[in-house]
Each structure stands twice: as structure tokens, then as C-alpha cells.
Structure 1
């Protein structure tokens, strides 16, 4: 039961964490703009990725040269570059550890020697009679 549970849950967790990490990288690099339109001290509209809708008072303000409306724009900047490290950026001890780890991991998968099976070409003798039926001895 436990082995069945582990065989079912492990692929699900693997896919879930992979998707979560991919989304984390995606959202950390995306930039977006939040625009708010205020008429006096009252928030009229909030828009994401587009311009906020203007209120009717702003049309009158343009004609009378008064300003009580204002637009506030918040820009959330994502990362421009992700950091890529090379092998040369590591310290000598880290390079040595990484090289020995990779070498030992690769050597785990050496092929097994060919096993000698002495009875591989042996064919069983032809049965003349079925001995179990002949003697009425059956395993139950």
C-alpha cells in the first residue's frame, strides 16, 4: 500500500513543484503597470496594463482650466537579467567537489559483466507421461 502511494504521489509532487518554480521565474521577470485615476480624493478607476478611464469631471476641467483630477501610475519592474554562473566563477574547493561528484555519479552506471548461465542452451527432456496425473498428486 505504501509503495503504491509513493508511486502515485511522487510524479504528482514532481510536476507540481516544477510548475510552481516555472511560474515563479515567469512572474519574477514580468513588469506591469497599475494606473489609478482620482477625482479629488475619490478613486474612480484602477487599470492593469491599460490606461484608467477618465471621469466626466475631467472633461469640464479641461474647458474651465481647473484641475481636481489626477492620475497615479505605479510601475512594478521585474528582473531584467537572470544570473548565470559559470564553472570558473566557483571557488577551487567548490570546483573540486563538483568535479568529484559528477565523476562518481557517472561511474555508478557502469555496465554489469555478462553473467554466465550454464543451462541457457539446455532443453528439458520430452515428457512421455504426466507423472502428477499418473500418481494423482497435486499441490493445493
Structure 2
């Protein structure tokens, strides 16, 4: 039971690791001067409203930064056929031995499992005065 639970936990952890390492996203930031006005990951950033003043004076105090975090594009997928013959042979033998090492034991038959002892009318040891010392 614990083995199955650990297997599920490790499988989920590895799946999340692959998912996180392959996801790409951008972080957009809007600065007005040196002050950060808004930062956003999935939506558009809110502007400070100085765009109309920039058109009149042709001087920009606002700037936008876009940070792109690239995920991994190249995942290596290999198959059993990519290995040479000795490696294939080793993996096959190892898997066979590992599988057969943990075979469950057969259930042992207990012949007197449902046997009920006879009803004692009197204690024979007390009647015969025979005690183990």
C-alpha cells in the first residue's frame, strides 16, 4: 500500500517537473519614471495614463519591459531500440530477475484452522495431580 502511494507521488512529481520545465511565459512590467506601476504574467499591464501627455511633449517618461522566460524545447526521448545489444540484454535480464524476486508466497494451508477442541468436562491434570514444575 505504501509502495503504491509512493509510486503515485513520484509519478506526479516527475510529470509536474516536465510540465514546469517546458512551459514558456512572459512577464510584462510598466514603469512610469522609476516607479513600477503594474506587472502582469497573463494579462495586459495597466498603463499609467501618461500616453496622452507623451504625444503633446514628445518626451516619454514611461517605459515597458517584457521579460520572456523560455521553456525547454528539446526533450530527449529514447527507446529500447536505441540501445546497443549488450545494454538491451542487461536491461532484459535485470527486469526479469527483479520481477521474479518479489513474487508473492503461496498461501500455506493450515489443516486445523477450523478445528475446535473437544469440550473438557473436568481438568485431567488436577484430577491426576500431575503438574509441570
TM-score bracket relative to the smaller structure: 0.5 to 0.7
Q: CA RMSD in A?
A: 4.0
Give distance in 2, aligned partners of 1:76 and 1:125. Answer: 77
Give distance in 1, aligned partners of 2:103 and 2:40. Answer: 60
Structure 2 spans left out of the alignment, 5+ residues: none
Greater share of residues in helix: 1
Displacement of 1:83 in angstroms is 2.6
* Per-residue Cα deviation, 1:82-111 (whole angstroms, up to 9, x for no partner): 332100112333212101101212333557
2:32 pairs with 1:14: no
Equivalent pairs counted in the alignment come to 127
Match of 2:51 in 1: 58
Gap change, CA 1:111 and 1:74, over 3 Å in 2: closer
Q: Secondary structure at the match of 2:121?
A: coil
Q: Secondary structure at the match of 1:56?
A: coil
Displacement of 1:31 in angstroms is 1.6
> What TM-score does the superposition give when structure 2 sets the normalisation length?
0.65
* Per-residue Cα deviation, 1:45-68 (whole angstroms, up to 9, x for no partner): 221222221112223213444433
Give distance in 2, aligned partners of 1:116 and 1:42. Answer: 80
Gap change, CA 1:82 and 1:132, over 3 Å in 2: farther
Match of 1:87 in 2: 80
Structure 1 spans left out of the alignment, 5+ residues: 1-6
